[in-house]
Structure 1
Amino acid sequence: MKDHQTVNRPDIFIVGTMKGGTTILHEFLSLHPEIHAGTQKEIHYFSLFDTKGPDWYHAHFSHLPPDQHYLDASPTYFDMANEPVIPRRIHDYNPDARVIMMARDPIDRALSHFNHLRKINKIEALRSISPEEFFSRDLEAAVSQIHQIDMYLMQCLNFSLYFRKAHNYRTVFGDRFLAVENESLSQDPQQTMERIFRHIGVDPIRDERFGERKYSHQDKNATYPLSPETTERLNNLFNPNYNAFCKLTGLPNRRPAAKPAAKPAPRPATKASPAAAARAPDKPTGPFEQAFIISYPHAGAGIVQEALNTVPGICIRGGNGGVLVGVAQLAAGLDKAQRQKDGAAGPGSAWFGAPEIQARAFADKLSAGFVDHVLRPPKDSHIIGCTETRLMPRPEFVAYCNYLRLRFPRALLIFNTRDTGRVIAANRASGEVANEHEYARADQLFRKFAAAHPDRCIEIAYDDYIGNEAALKPLFDRLGVPFNAAAVRSILARANPNLPLLNMPERGRIENGVLSGRDGWLFLWTGSNNVHRYYTQDDHFTDKHARDWADLLTARRDRLAGLGIRYLHMTAPDKLSVYPEHVGRPLPHHDRHPARLLAQLVPGNDLNLDVLPDLRAADLEGPVFYKSDSHWNFRGCQAAYRRLCETLGVAPRDFSDRKVGGKAMALDLGNKFSPPVIEEARFTHVLRDARRVLANGPVRYNEETGFRQGSPRFVGCYVHLQNSLDDAHPQTVMLFGDSFSEFRPHLLTAMLAETFREVHFIWSANLDYELIERVRPQIVISQIAERFMATLPTDEFRVSLD
């Protein structure tokens, strides 16, 4: 059950940066009548104090009027966002939040940071040191942070490197992330505030206080309190990152261009190719700029490729018909020709002119052409590459790997292997001829080359990572990119349906009313519905309860028959009814649950549809519930839908051509645990031909606000759908149901809407006879989740259509 208590949830976040102007923006935003700040400017909940829990966080806003915009301005949200953990926490809390980052000239900000540490924080180690002494320290030595001063130096510098943090926010929030230049707020406050207000979604206001310069930042034309050499040094450090940041956010770059640093003469053996040299100098400078996956058929290379492509800025293409292998062969042949000893002989020599061949220049042009015309990476890519799964003889393999190593001097070679017996079996299952010795030789070549070039190669094994996403983390670490375990697990789950749930609690544990059963299956157990009592106590749902239900269904049928309407009832079986073998606890009355007793009293399918046998039959093809959810999945819902169509004499639709989406996520039962249990969920977007013509206020509230704020209202939701296709069955259906039917486009309501001319869905266990008499449908269906059957409906209910 969700907590329906209304809370004031922040939806505006000023995330940073420290000394960037967040305080004045916080004050300016608070002048708007619809925007309210908490008890303090900086709460730091999502960065430093998340363990205090949401009640502690919400207490900072509990004194404010309801249904407004609420503001949290905590610079640590940006300054600690080198990984996307904090952006994701904020997004999980409020997916529609508006995020604002104040950017300031990196050197200005670093100097202000230094002064803050010295004067406000009164850091003893900095009291007697000047800005020049501080910022001219040896950076290579400072990285080790052996001295306390170096720790503060690295902090000042890191907080002025904006790109990676902004990239993480832009990746998570998209256009809901806005970067604002501090100078714009200072020089043109009214126009800048209007832009920020529009970003938030409120009407802009004008206020003369926007022009007040309470926080005077250094004039852009002023001279830094640093020597020209130290200033130039910092320019060279900050400019590539700031250039990339400005391109990412669209901010103007007002910084002076850095002077190019002197470079040593390139060594021929490691001369960068034009492809590498052409990379924009403002790209993130990680350890590698290219990554090449080298494997063989049916070894999982595509899984690794997809996993790497989940990282923003990585673009690993698939196969290219062996083009790059061919380029490597050409380069090797030319290099060999260039070294022919008799190339300087007369015009009649077979190798005449060979010494004049510019083999490396030719290879560099081919490399650049391959990147530009075959890989064609997006502009924001900072690691590119491709996958090669051809079995290569030794000379071809060595030429290919050496070509990659020499022509792409910042490339990582990823050797992906799989158990020989299993890869042979996979090849044969695909009808392909496979030679065990070829695969064994490939593994040997991989190991030998990786051992010879450990700084440029990494070995990974399908058999290690297919059941454990953590086995791929060393690859991500080697590339210097973030590892999103949930995203990688989602990919692995499609290839390995038996992949265990992420964060699976120990068997027998009960948390927030949810029981962890066998093999990761979660069940509603206690809580407000006390579901377990249907199966463990014989007095919770008795024979009398079942007879009362049978009498109710009979009375409904007779009353509706008087109106010429056919009536059917369906109980959605509880997960405990479908999977008692996974519970791991005694269920002494497992055969006396409501659906079973009602089916015994009202047999057949003329009035009461017993879909439990259908679900169990469908389970033979695959689960009909997710392990960590309390509702049937698409397969389970489709089994009930087909039983319903068969009873009504209607041919069921085939939804196999509908769009399917999915991701690794915490479903309703998994979300009851801490940390949440993560499972790969797949949703079929059933609704295609039917269209919604009416949705009442509760539905609109849920879609606009309720789901986002975590306070949806379900009972009383109403939607009306129409299907104008010629083959839609001409009847009108009215469905009274709950979360097993839903008004969203993936469960029973959508399936019926794709089948019949008109469908009216009402979220209620009670019938609304006034609405039924007004609409006069040909068919009325009631559906109820089995766990709610302890309470008998009264049918005294009126739904609002407004």
Structure 2
Amino acid sequence: MPSVVPTALTPTLPSLSQLKDRSPRWAKDLANVSTRAAALATVADRPGPDFLITGTKRGGTTSLFNYLLMHPGVLGLFPESRGKKSTDFFFADDQHSESWYRSHFHTRRHRERIERRLGYAPVGGEASPYYLWDPRIAGKVAAQYPGVKALVLLRDPVERAWSHYQERTQNGVEPLGFAEALAAEPARLEGEIDRMLADPTYHSTSHDWYSYRSRGIYLPQLQNWLTHFHRDQVLVLRSEDMYGDVQGVFDQVSEFLGLDRVTLPTTRTFNASHRKSSVPEPVRSELAEFYAPHNLALEDFLGFDLDWTSPDSAGDADGLG
């Protein structure tokens, strides 16, 4: 009669994620190179993105991408086990080819298998909050993928600026107080757009990291994308609507992408800051006054109310406007 090993002594096999965490760096690098080489060998059968989540920063880009990955008709970046949401290909990447970029998307053969199972075509894409902000990217995308659809999440710019600042301080790259950082922004960003436009390979850290105030002026960013894409290719959403009704906004996005409606297994947020605090006064009121005309112009352009922080409501530190 075979012996029975007591349960307490039975070894527990590590999960795939645990094995990845325990793997040395060289092993991970080798796996990445091998996987990319295999994907490049089949790149002729790999279309590019069907959609891009383009921003805004601190507006829920990561959450929306993770919600979409819960849909059976949405494909993550290849290989999906890496859990990447972006390739960063369209900004400051002069090291990789367009073939390298397409190697991150699933093959047509794989898509056809899924379509036979679902009854409709799956879609693939990526997400980067920098794609809306960098003025060069819309043109780059349109030149290579003119049929792509763009998802744009816009958050109350007062709250967005504060969240952006908190992220920078958490990451240890912002030594200034919030008011001081806003005052330093013009000097930090001076000449950066000109350098970016003159050099397609130049990535401005200042333009990315310290654009607390200017990044919340959304209308020029949207108009830039709509210069290159038809209006029906760009879906603009309020971040507040997504967090207030995740399933409802998810259904809206699914319809925009040509997908069947499904019920999300979870509506928790992703990549949210653990530091919960209100925008300090008097900066909150100053920002609300600054953004008021920009928000009004954006409302006129979009044709719906944004209901963001206004100068009259700026004293309510707990509200979103």
Q: TM-score, normalised by structure 2?
A: 0.66
Note if contact 1:180-1:251 (Cα within 8 Å) is conserved in structure 2: no
- Check 1:151–1:18 CA distance in 2 against 1; reply closer, same or farther (3 A cut): closer
- Check 1:141–1:168 CA distance in 2 against 1; reply closer, same or farther (3 A cut): closer
In 2, the alpha carbon distance for the partners of 1:151 and 1:9 equals: 27
- Check 1:227–1:57 CA distance in 2 against 1; reply closer, same or farther (3 A cut): same
1:207 to 261, 264, 269: 264
In 1, the alpha carbon distance for the partners of 2:123 and 2:94 equals: 21
- Check 1:180–1:8 CA distance in 2 against 1; reply closer, same or farther (3 A cut): same
Give the counterpart letter for 2:301 in structure 1.
L
2:97 to 47, 53, 61: 53
| Deviation (angstroms), 1:154 | 5.1
Give the counterpart letter for 2:278 in structure 1.
T
Note if contact 1:45-1:57 (Cα within 8 Å) is conserved in structure 2: yes
- Check 1:23–1:208 CA distance in 2 against 1; reply closer, same or farther (3 A cut): same
The residue aligned with 2:166 is 115
Give the counterpart letter for 1:91 in structure 2.
A
In 2, the alpha carbon distance for the partners of 1:249 and 1:74 equals: 22
Structural mapping, 1:611-622, within 5 Å: none
The residue aligned with 1:700 is none
2:289 to 222, 232, 236: 236
Q: Is structure 2 residue 90 aligned with structure 1 residue 90? A: no
| Deviation (angstroms), 1:134 | 2.9
Structural mapping, 1:520-669, within 5 Å: none
In 2, the alpha carbon distance for the partners of 1:32 and 1:108 equals: 29
Structural mapping, 1:167-178, within 5 Å: 167-173=223-229, 174-178=231-235
In 2, the alpha carbon distance for the partners of 1:178 and 1:97 equals: 12
- Check 1:80–1:22 CA distance in 2 against 1; reply closer, same or farther (3 A cut): same
Deviations 1:252-295 (A, max 9, x none): 32123337xxxxxxxxxxxxxxxxxxxxxxxxxxxxxxxxxxxx
Deviations 1:600-625 (A, max 9, x none): xxxxxxxxxxxxxxxxxxxxxxxxxx
Note if contact 1:42-1:75 (Cα within 8 Å) is conserved in structure 2: no
Note if contact 2:238-2:306 (Cα within 8 Å) is conserved in structure 1: no
Deviations 1:20-51 (A, max 9, x none): 11101010011111111114212121222265
Give the counterpart letter for 2:92 in structure 1.
L
Note if contact 2:138-2:224 (Cα within 8 Å) is conserved in structure 1: yes
In 1, the alpha carbon distance for the partners of 2:186 and 2:143 equals: 38
Q: Is structure 2 residue 26 aligned with structure 1 residue 7? A: no
1:79 to 130, 133, 136: 133
Deviations 1:74-102 (A, max 9, x none): 22211112xxx421221222222111011
- Check 1:115–1:138 CA distance in 2 against 1; reply closer, same or farther (3 A cut): closer
Give the counterpart letter for 2:152 in structure 1.
M
Note if contact 1:178-1:249 (Cα within 8 Å) is conserved in structure 2: no
In 1, the alpha carbon distance for the partners of 2:111 and 2:208 equals: 42
CA RMSD of aligned residues (A): 3.2
| Deviation (angstroms), 1:12 | 0.8
| Deviation (angstroms), 1:10 | 0.9
Structural mapping, 1:94-243, within 5 Å: 94-120=145-171, 122-123=172-173, 126-127=174-175, 129-135=176-182, 137=183, 144=190, 155-173=211-229, 174-209=231-266, 211-216=267-272, 223-224=278-279, 226-228=280-282, 230-243=283-296
In 2, the alpha carbon distance for the partners of 1:197 and 1:37 equals: 15
Give the counterpart letter for 1:74 in structure 2.
S
Note if contact 1:132-1:227 (Cα within 8 Å) is conserved in structure 2: no
Name the one with the larger helix percent. 2
Give the counterpart letter for 2:164 in structure 1.
H
- Check 1:102–1:4 CA distance in 2 against 1; reply closer, same or farther (3 A cut): closer
In 1, the alpha carbon distance for the partners of 2:208 and 2:123 equals: 36
**Equivalent residue pairs, number:** 243
| Deviation (angstroms), 1:55 | 1.3
Structure with the greater alpha carbon radius of gyration: 1
The residue aligned with 2:57 is 18
Q: Is structure 2 residue 70 aligned with structure 1 residue 70? A: no
Note if contact 1:8-1:70 (Cα within 8 Å) is conserved in structure 2: no
Give the counterpart letter for 1:79 in structure 2.
W
Unaligned runs of 5+ in 1: 260-802
In 2, the alpha carbon distance for the partners of 1:61 and 1:151 equals: 29
Note if contact 1:99-1:176 (Cα within 8 Å) is conserved in structure 2: yes
SS at match of 2:213: helix
In 2, the alpha carbon distance for the partners of 1:158 and 1:138 equals: 12
In 2, the alpha carbon distance for the partners of 1:34 and 1:186 equals: 22
- Check 1:36–1:28 CA distance in 2 against 1; reply closer, same or farther (3 A cut): same
Note if contact 2:165-2:212 (Cα within 8 Å) is conserved in structure 1: yes
| Deviation (angstroms), 1:104 | 0.9
| Deviation (angstroms), 1:249 | 2.9
In 1, the alpha carbon distance for the partners of 2:128 and 2:94 equals: 13
| Deviation (angstroms), 1:243 | 2.3
In 1, the alpha carbon distance for the partners of 2:133 and 2:138 equals: 11
- Check 1:26–1:234 CA distance in 2 against 1; reply closer, same or farther (3 A cut): same
In 1, the alpha carbon distance for the partners of 2:206 and 2:103 equals: 38
Deviations 1:291-332 (A, max 9, x none): xxxxxxxxxxxxxxxxxxxxxxxxxxxxxxxxxxxxxxxxxx
In 1, the alpha carbon distance for the partners of 2:141 and 2:206 equals: 31
Deviations 1:742-783 (A, max 9, x none): xxxxxxxxxxxxxxxxxxxxxxxxxxxxxxxxxxxxxxxxxx
SS at match of 1:208: coil
Give the counterpart letter for 1:102 in structure 2.
L
The residue aligned with 2:299 is 246
Note if contact 1:12-1:69 (Cα within 8 Å) is conserved in structure 2: yes
In 1, the alpha carbon distance for the partners of 2:156 and 2:289 equals: 14
SS at match of 1:156: coil
Note if contact 2:71-2:262 (Cα within 8 Å) is conserved in structure 1: yes
Note if contact 1:197-1:204 (Cα within 8 Å) is conserved in structure 2: yes
